[in-house]
C-alpha cells in the first residue's frame, strides 16, 4: 500500500467495465459508491388532503422524480455544487502531485535504508487499516461473514505487494525523480495483460491502442537517457527495469483483489465486500512478507544476514535523524512522515471524487498529476538542489504516455455512458 499510488486504488481506476463482471452496479463499485451506484426506482407516493395514494399507472411513471427542485435546481445550488466538485478535483490533483513528489523526497534521507522505510510504512498502514476495520465492524458495516472469507488470496496479495513496495523503493532511491512517475505508468500495461490471462477480460481497440501508447511513451522516455549527459546516462538499466518489475507485482496484486471482490459478491448474496477487509488483511500479509524478504533483499544490497540487525538499527537512527548518521539523513523524519500522511490524504480525497463524480474523473485526475509531477521533480527542490534537465526526447515520451492514458480513460467513459443509456 505504500507505492506512489496504492494498489488498492490502482485496481479500481484502471479496470474497465466488463460485461461479465464489474459494471456500474457491481459489488466493487457499490463498495466505493454506496450512495450513488445502488439506487433503485421506488414507488412514488403523493400526499393530498391527508390522504396518500400510490401511482398505479404504467411503469414509466415510476421514473418521475418526486421533487421538482431536483429536476430544476436553482442557479445558486448548481453553482455551489460545481464549486464543491471543482474544489475536490483540484485538491485531489494537488495531493496526487504532492504524493509523487514526496515519494522521491522521502527516499532522499533514507536512500541507504529503503527496506526500513518500506517496513515502517507497511506496518503504519496495517495499524491504520485495522483500526478503521474495527470501527466499521463495531458500526455493523463489516459483518462476521465478510471476516470469515478465505484468506489464501490475501496471502498472495500480501506476497506480491511486499515485492512491489520493496523493489519499488529500492529502485526509486537510485532513479532520477522525473523518471519515477513515468515508469510507474507501466502498471496499466501489466494490469491489462494479467487481467486478460487471469480474468479473461476483453478490451476495446481504443483501450488497446491507449495501452500501447503508454508502453511506447515509457520506452521513448527511457531511451532518451542513452546519450552522455542525459538524465539516465549514468543510471544502470537494472534500476529502470526493477521499477517496471515492481509495477508488475502491484498490478498482479490488484488483479487478484478484483477477483476477490467479484467472487465474494456471490457468496455474500450480492452484498458488497467492504474494501477495508481486503486492504487490512492484504496489508497484514504484506507486512509479514516484507519482514521475511529483508534478508534476501538486503543481501542483494550487499548486506550480509548477520549484519541485518545492525542495518535495521542504523535505519531507525537515520529515520529519527539521530546518532552518527545525522549528517547524511537530513530531512528525516519529517519527509518520510509527510509522505505517509499525504498518501493517506490522497487516497481519501480520491475516494471522495469517486463518490461525488465518477471513477473515470478520478482516474483522469491521477493522469493529470503525471506530467505535473515530472516537471516539478525536474526542478531544484529542497534536498534535491541539483535538479534534472529534461531532454526533448523525454518530453515527447511523456506526451505519448499521457495521450495513451487519456485515450484509455476516455474510452472507458464512453463505454460507461453507452451502458447507462
Residue 228: inside a domain, yes or no?
no
Residue 373 lies in a domain: no
Across 357-388, b (16+ Cβ under 10 Å) vs e yields: bbbbbbbbbbbbbbbbbbebbbeebeebeeeb
Domain presence at residue 307: yes
Q: Is 255 inside a domain boundary? A: yes
SS (H, E, C) 196-251: HHHHCCCCCHHHHHHHHHHHHHHHHHHHCCCCCCCCCCCCCCHHHHHHHHHHHHHH
What is the C-alpha to C-alpha distance for residues 50 and 255, in angstroms, rounded to an integer? 55
State the average pLDDT over residues 115-139.
91
Lowest mean pLDDT among 55-69, 116-130, 266-280, 347-361: 55-69
Show the domain range for 170: 111-174+236-329
Q: Check whether 62 has a pLDDT greater than 60.
A: no
Please determine, for residue 254, whether its predicted confidence score (pLDDT) is greater than 90: no
- The mean pLDDT value for 266-290 works out to 86
Average pLDDT over residues 119-141: 92
Asked if residue 245 belongs to a domain, the reply is yes
CB atoms within 10 A of CB 193: 15
Give this prediction's pTM.
0.73
Instruction: Return the higher-pLDDT residue of 397 and 323.
Output: 397
Strand partners, 52: 47
Q: Are 246 and 168 in contact (CB under 8 A)?
A: yes
Give me the number of domains the chain comprises: 1
Residue 172 has pLDDT above 70, yes or no: yes
pLDDT score at 157: 94
Mean pLDDT of the chain: 77
Instruction: Give the pLDDT mean for 377-399.
Output: 88
Asked whether residue 49 carries a pLDDT value surpassing 50, the answer given is no
**Domain assignment of residue 321, yes or no:** yes
Cβ atoms of residues 258 and 195 within 8 Å: yes
pLDDT level of residue 300 (50, 70, 90 thresholds): confident
pLDDT at 257 over 80: yes
CB 173 within 8 A of CB 114: yes
Q: Is residue 80 very low, low, confident or very high in pLDDT (cuts 50, 70, 90)?
A: confident
The pLDDT value given to residue 43:
35
**Statement: residue 223 has pLDDT above 60:** yes
Q: What residues have CB less than 8 Å from 135, skipping those under 6 apart?
A: none
Q: Is the pLDDT of residue 174 over 60?
A: yes
C-alpha–C-alpha distance, residues 290 and 279, integer Å: 16
Identify whether 77 is part of a domain.
no
Closest CA to 237 of 246, 225, 250: 225
Measured CA to CA, the distance from residue 35 to residue 295 in angstroms comes to 46
Amino acid at each position: 500500500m505504500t507505492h506512489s499510488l496504492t494498489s488498492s486504488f490502482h485496481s479500481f481506476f484502471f479496470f474497465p467495465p466488463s460485461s461479465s463482471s464489474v459494471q456500474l452496479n457491481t459489488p466493487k463499485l457499490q463498495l466505493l459508491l454506496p450512495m450513488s451506484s445502488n439506487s433503485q426506482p421506488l414507488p412514488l407516493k403523493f400526499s393530498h388532503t391527508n390522504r396518500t395514494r400510490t401511482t398505479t399507472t404504467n411503469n414509466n411513471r415510476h421514473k418521475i422524480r418526486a421533487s421538482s427542485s431536483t429536476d430544476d435546481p436553482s442557479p445558486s445550488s448548481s453553482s455551489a455544487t460545481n464549486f464543491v466538485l471543482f474544489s475536490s478535483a483540484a485538491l485531489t490533483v494537488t495531493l496526487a502531485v504532492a504524493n509523487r513528489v514526496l515519494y522521491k523526497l522521502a527516499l532522499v534521507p533514507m536512500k541507504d535504508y529503503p527496506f526500513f522505510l518500506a517496513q515502517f510504512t507497511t506496518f503504519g498502514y496495517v495499524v491504520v487499516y485495522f483500526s478503521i476495520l474495527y470501527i466499521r465492524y463495531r458500526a455493523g458495516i463489516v459483518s462476521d461473514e465478510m471476516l470469515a472469507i478465505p484468506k489464501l488470496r490475501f496471502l498472495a496479495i500480501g506476497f506480491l505487494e511486499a515485492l512491489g513496495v520493496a523493489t519499488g523503493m529500492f529502485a526509486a532511491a537510485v532513479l532520477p525523480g522525473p523518471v519515477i512517475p513515468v515508469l510507474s505508468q507501466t502498471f496499466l500495461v501489466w494490469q491489462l495483460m494479467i487481467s486478460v490471462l487471469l480474468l479473461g477480460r476483453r478490451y476495446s481497440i481504443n483501450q488497446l491502442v491507449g495501452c500501447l501508447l503508454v508502453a511506447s511513451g515509457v520506452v521513448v522516455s527511457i531511451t532518451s537517457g542513452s546519450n552522455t549527459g542525459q538524465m539516465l546516462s549514468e543510471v544502470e538499466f537494472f534500476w529502470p527495469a526493477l521499477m517496471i518489475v515492481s509495477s508488475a507485482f502491484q498490478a498482479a496484486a490488484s488483479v487478484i483483489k478484483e477477483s476477490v471482490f467479484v467472487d465474494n459478491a456471490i457468496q455474500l448474496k450480492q452484498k458488497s465486500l467492504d474494501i477495508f477487509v481486503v486492504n487490512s488483511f492484504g496489508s497484514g500479509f504484506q507486512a509479514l512478507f516484507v519482514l521475511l524478504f529483508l534478508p534476501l533483499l538486503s543481501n542483494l544490497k550487499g548486506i550480509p544476514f548477520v549484519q541485518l540487525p545492525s542495518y535495521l538499527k542504523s535505519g531507525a537512527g537515520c529515520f529519527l535523524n539521530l546518532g552518527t548518521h545525522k549528517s547524511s539523513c537530513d530531512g528525516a523524519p519529517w519527509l518520510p512522515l509527510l509522505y505517509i500522511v499525504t498518501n493517506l490524504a490522497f487516497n481519501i480525497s480520491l475516494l471522495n471524487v469517486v463518490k461525488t463524480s465518477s471513477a473515470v474523473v478520478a482516474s483522469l485526475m491521477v493522469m493529470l498529476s503525471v506530467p505535473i509531477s515530472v516537471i516539478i521533480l525536474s526542478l531544484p527542490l529542497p534536498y534535491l538542489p541539483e535538479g534534472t534537465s529534461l531532454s526533448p526526447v523525454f518530453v515527447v515520451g511523456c506526451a505519448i504516455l499521457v495521450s495513451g492514458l487519456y485515450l484509455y480513460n476516455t474510452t472507458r467513459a464512453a463505454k460507461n455512458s453507452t451502458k447507462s443509456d
